């Protein structure tokens, strides 16, 4: 049967291929029977998953908690280890497999239900709430069993045209798919600027999120058309629809090829204003794509991705190598390294989310200042890499001046330790701040007096200004980059920075969305940073833009606060 599903297209393009289902929704598992002679092996599989999770917890305790006495966090990990070791869970699951020959996931789930029922009986509300911890621990053990074909069909039959479908994936999960050959990427959850979507976009393949039930409705091997531009999937299309989409796919390919011709053309408006088009990256491997895009610098190196998908923290030498590689490969073009923006949805492996509102919690610079040793290691690594190119430091999620002062102090201290060891670095390294919290945008003057440059993080600026969680698809319709308040704030930041002659860039997803290119140019922005795959489309728009025509229209947009009038003016601007 053919049917259509609608979601949010987060990466453009058309893919035609076969469905490949990733792990099912967190706690959904299949039940099947194990042949008698395989029962011991099945128990060993369960044991090994418990072992893996224990190692994850231990690594986390060692890497994050040691020395920094975060009692609450430590207590949480202890609790999770206690649950993991509770015989009601592991022993009972083991004997269930032995007696009923069921699969390990199923046995584990049954025992989880037993534990949850026991928690239900507890009168103490706090202890009753610990049910969530039991579920989190079980979820981890299930994930550790992902390699088993009964739970996750790791390898698709269709190599070369596999379309990955997952209920939900963390940004760290998506990173792991970078190495795999999928031609499109679909998830039930997510929204336009969730980090999962951002990483999916960096895969440079059509991607759709917020499909709600795709993972349940689509079957392994179903034939799919993924239209990333419209945000739709056509499941088991008929021959005519397939032909139509193959034609469109061909046209899109042709357009992409044509765009490649402007790769080496300098990005400049028709009136001769030069525009810097920089690239966002997550790992040094991304540099190849940056080169193909013709970007003239790295505007945002999301360094936190070096810390994810591993059991330990990257040491100073390892980080230095990563930063140096990028600096060298960019041949003296700017390389803006954002200090790690961990927390919220980007976590260390094994991290247990304790905050009720993680996006408002210990994230980015707040985490760095709470973990000075970890931060010091990174600062030294960046400083050491600074002698190999035009390296800059960018501080994420600043909300007050004290954070700038403390960070500058820590940078000075890192410099001093290097000097003492006679290690060279750029003494005049530029330090900039991300403006992504409304408080920062509204107290810009003092920020500008202390920082060398600004970078507008619209992904978070929109989230925090509109009070819309960027990873929650239930409120994705409220996440609006063209909300009058956002346009006003972005305009205020650009114009204040230009007046103060402080370089300003924009590195949120808005920078790569061609419908906003002229708006941003008209506001006075001359530096944009985006995913390499978006760069030539944006450059094409820059090359066709004439600022004297654009600026008056943009001023009209800022002056009106009526969304419909604003949209009409935007359409006119992009005519
Ligand atoms: C932003 O918030 O716009 C940004 C670029 O940072 P991130 O998406 O990594 O939060
Ligand atoms: Mg951000």
pLDDT in tens, 541-564: 999 999 999 999 999 999 998 999
Residue 572 has pLDDT above 80, yes or no: yes
Asked whether the beta carbons of 228 and 183 are under 8 A apart, the reply is: no
How far apart (Å, rounded) are the C-alpha atoms in residues 60 and 312? 8
Lowest-pLDDT choice from 43-57, 237-251, 294-308, 340-354: 340-354
DSSP string, 512-562: G-GGGHHHHHHTT--EEEE-HHHHHHHHHHHHT--HHHHHHHHHHHHH---
206 lines ligand 1 (CB under 6 A): no
pLDDT tens digits, 200-217: 777 788 999 999 888 878
pLDDT value at residue 457: 98
Name beta bridge partners: 274: 268
Q: How many angstroms is it from 509 CA to the middle of ligand 1?
A: 8
pLDDT value at residue 444: 97
Is domain 263-573 annotated with CATH 3.20.20.60?
A: yes
Name beta bridge partners: 453: 432
Residue 152 has pLDDT above 50, yes or no: no
pLDDT value at residue 129: 65
The two structure tokens encoding residue 105: 């996931």
Mean per-residue pLDDT, 214-229: 91
Out of 3.50.30.10, 3.40.50.300, 3.60.21.10, 3.50.50.60, the CATH code matching 3-23+153-257 is: 3.50.30.10
Residue 423 has pLDDT above 70, yes or no: yes
* Closest atom, ligand 1, to C-alpha of 396: 6
Percent of the chain with pLDDT over 90: 65
304 lines ligand 1 (CB under 6 A): no
460 lines ligand 1 (CB under 6 A): yes
Q: How many angstroms is it from 48 CA to the middle of ligand 2?
A: 37
Distance spanning both ends of the chain, measured CA to CA: 41
In the chain, where does the domain assigned CATH 3.20.20.60 lie? 263-573
Please, what sign has the CA dihedral across residues 193, 352, 364, 171? negative
List the one residue out of 166, 151, 170, 143 whose CA is nearest residue 212. Answer: 166
pLDDT value at residue 561: 86
Ligand 1 atom 6: residue of nearest CA: 457
Q: How many angstroms is it from 221 CA to the middle of ligand 1?
A: 35
Q: How many angstroms is it from 364 CA to the middle of ligand 1?
A: 11
Lowest-pLDDT choice from 41-55, 148-162, 503-517: 148-162
pLDDT value at residue 153: 36
Name beta bridge partners: 505: 455
In the chain, where does the domain assigned CATH 3.50.30.10 lie? 3-23+153-257
Question: Where in the sequence numbering do the catalytic residues fall?
Answer: 195, 507
Asked whether the beta carbons of 171 and 199 are under 8 A apart, the reply is: yes
The two structure tokens encoding residue 29: 């598992």
Mean per-residue pLDDT, 424-431: 98
Q: What are the residue ranges of helices labelled H in 154-286?
A: 171-177, 195-202, 214-217, 239-260
Find which of 14-23, 62-71, 394-403 is predicted with most confidence, using mean pLDDT.
Answer: 394-403
The fold for domain 36-145 equals Enzyme I; Chain A, domain 2 (1.10.274)
227 lines ligand 1 (CB under 6 A): no
* Ligand with minimal distance to 506 CA: 1
> Which residue among 193, 194, 459, 516 is best mutated to probe the pocket of ligand 1, counting the most ligand atoms within 8 A of its Cβ?
459
* Closest atom, ligand 1, to C-alpha of 463: 2
> Which residue among 190, 192, 346, 396 is best mutated to probe the pocket of ligand 1, counting the most ligand atoms within 8 A of its Cβ?
396
Q: How many angstroms is it from 184 CA to the middle of ligand 1?
A: 23
Q: How many CA atoms lie within 13 A of 236 on its CB side?
A: 9
Residue 420 has pLDDT above 70, yes or no: yes
- Split at pLDDT 50, 70, 90, the class of 151 is very low
The two structure tokens encoding residue 254: 């042709």
pLDDT tens digits, 67-124: 444 555 566 678 888 888 888 888 999 999 999 999 998 899 888 888 888 877 777 7
Task: Kindly report the pTM of this predicted structure.
Answer: 0.77
Q: Where does 355-509 show beta strands of DSSP type E?
A: 390-395, 430-435, 453-456, 504-506
How far apart (Å, rounded) are the C-alpha atoms in residues 354 and 361? 10
Residue 442 has pLDDT above 60, yes or no: yes
Q: What are the residue ranges of helices labelled H in 297-400?
A: 316-329, 365-370, 372-385
List the one residue out of 401, 487, 392 whose CA is nearest residue 444. Answer: 401
* Closest atom, ligand 1, to C-alpha of 510: 3
pLDDT value at residue 344: 85
pLDDT value at residue 154: 42
pLDDT value at residue 320: 98
Percent of the chain with pLDDT over 70: 90
- 162-166, strands of its sheet edge to edge: 3-6, 232-235, 223-227, 14-21, 162-166, 182-187, 207-209, 8-11
Residue 27 has pLDDT above 70, yes or no: no
Lowest-pLDDT choice from 26-30, 278-282, 369-373: 26-30
pLDDT value at residue 56: 77
pLDDT value at residue 63: 55
């Amino acid at each position: 049967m053919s049917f259509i599903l609608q979601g949010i297209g987060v990466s453009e393009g058309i893919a035609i291929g076969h469905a490949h289902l990733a792990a099912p929704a967190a706690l959904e598992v299949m039940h099947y029977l194990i042949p008698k002679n395989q029962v011991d092996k099945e128990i060993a599989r369960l044991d090994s998953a418990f072992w893996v999770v224990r190692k994850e917890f231990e690594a986390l305790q060692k890497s994050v908690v040691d020395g920094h006495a975060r009692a609450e966090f430590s207590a949480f990990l202890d609790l999770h280890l206690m649950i993991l070791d509770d015989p009601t869970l592991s022993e009972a699951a083991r004997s269930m497999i032995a007696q009923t020959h069921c699969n390990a996931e199923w046995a584990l789930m049954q025992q989880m239900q037993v534990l949850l029922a026991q928690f239900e009986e507890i009168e103490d509300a706090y202890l009753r709430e610990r049910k969530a911890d039991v579920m989190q621990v079980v979820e981890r053990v299930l994930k550790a069993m992902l390699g088993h074909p009964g739970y996750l069909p790791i390898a698709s039959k269709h190599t070369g045209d596999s379309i990955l479908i997952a209920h939900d994936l963390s940004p760290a999960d998506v990173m792991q798919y970078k190495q795999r050959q999928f031609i499109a990427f679909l998830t039930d959850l997510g929204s336009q600027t969730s980090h999962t979507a951002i990483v999916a976009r960096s895969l440079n393949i059509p991607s759709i999120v917020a499909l709600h039930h795709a993972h349940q409705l689509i079957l392994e091997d179903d034939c799919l058309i993924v239209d990333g531009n419209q945000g739709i999937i056509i499941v088991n299309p008929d021959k005519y629809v397939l032909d139509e989409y193959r034609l469109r796919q061909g046209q899109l390919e042709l357009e992409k090829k044509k765009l490649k011709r402007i790769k080496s053309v300098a990005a400049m408006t028709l009136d001769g204003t030069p525009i810097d088009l920089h690239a966002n990256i997550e790992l040094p491997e991304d540099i190849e794509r940056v080169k193909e895009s013709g970007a003239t610098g790295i505007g945002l190196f999301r360094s936190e991705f070096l810390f994810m998908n591993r059991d330990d923290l990257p040491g100073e030498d390892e980080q230095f190598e990563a930063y140096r590689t990028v600096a060298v490969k960019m041949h003296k073009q700017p390389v803006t390294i954002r200090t790690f923006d961990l927390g919220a949805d980007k976590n260390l492996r094994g991290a247990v989310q304790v905050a009720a509102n993680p996006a408002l919690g210990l994230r980015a610079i707040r985490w760095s200042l709470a973990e000075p040793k970890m931060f010091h290691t990174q600062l030294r690594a960046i400083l050491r890499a600074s002698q190999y190119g035009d390296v800059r430091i960018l501080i994420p999620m600043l909300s007050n001046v004290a954070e700038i002062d403390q960070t500058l102090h820590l940078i000075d201290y890192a410099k001093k330790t290097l000097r003492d060891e006679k290690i060279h670095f750029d003494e005049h390294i530029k330090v900039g701040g991300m403006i992504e919290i409304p408080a920062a945008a509204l107290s810009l003057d003092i920020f500008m007096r202390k920082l060398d440059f600004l970078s507008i993080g619209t992904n978070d600026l929109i989230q925090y200004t509109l009070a819309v969680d960027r990873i929650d698809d239930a409120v994705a319709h409220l996440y609006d980059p063209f909300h009058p308040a956002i346009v006003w704030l972005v305009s205020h930041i650009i114009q204040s920075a230009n007046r103060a002659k402080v370089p300003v860039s924009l590195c949120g997803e808005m920078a790569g969305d061609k419908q906003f290119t002229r708006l941003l140019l008209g506001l006075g922005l001359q530096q944009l940073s985006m995913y390499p795959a978006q760069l030539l489309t944006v450059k094409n728009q820059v090359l066709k833009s004439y600022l004297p025509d654009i600026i008056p229209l943009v001023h009209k947009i800022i002056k009106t606060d009526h969304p419909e009038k604003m949209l009409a003016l935007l359409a006119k601007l992009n005519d």
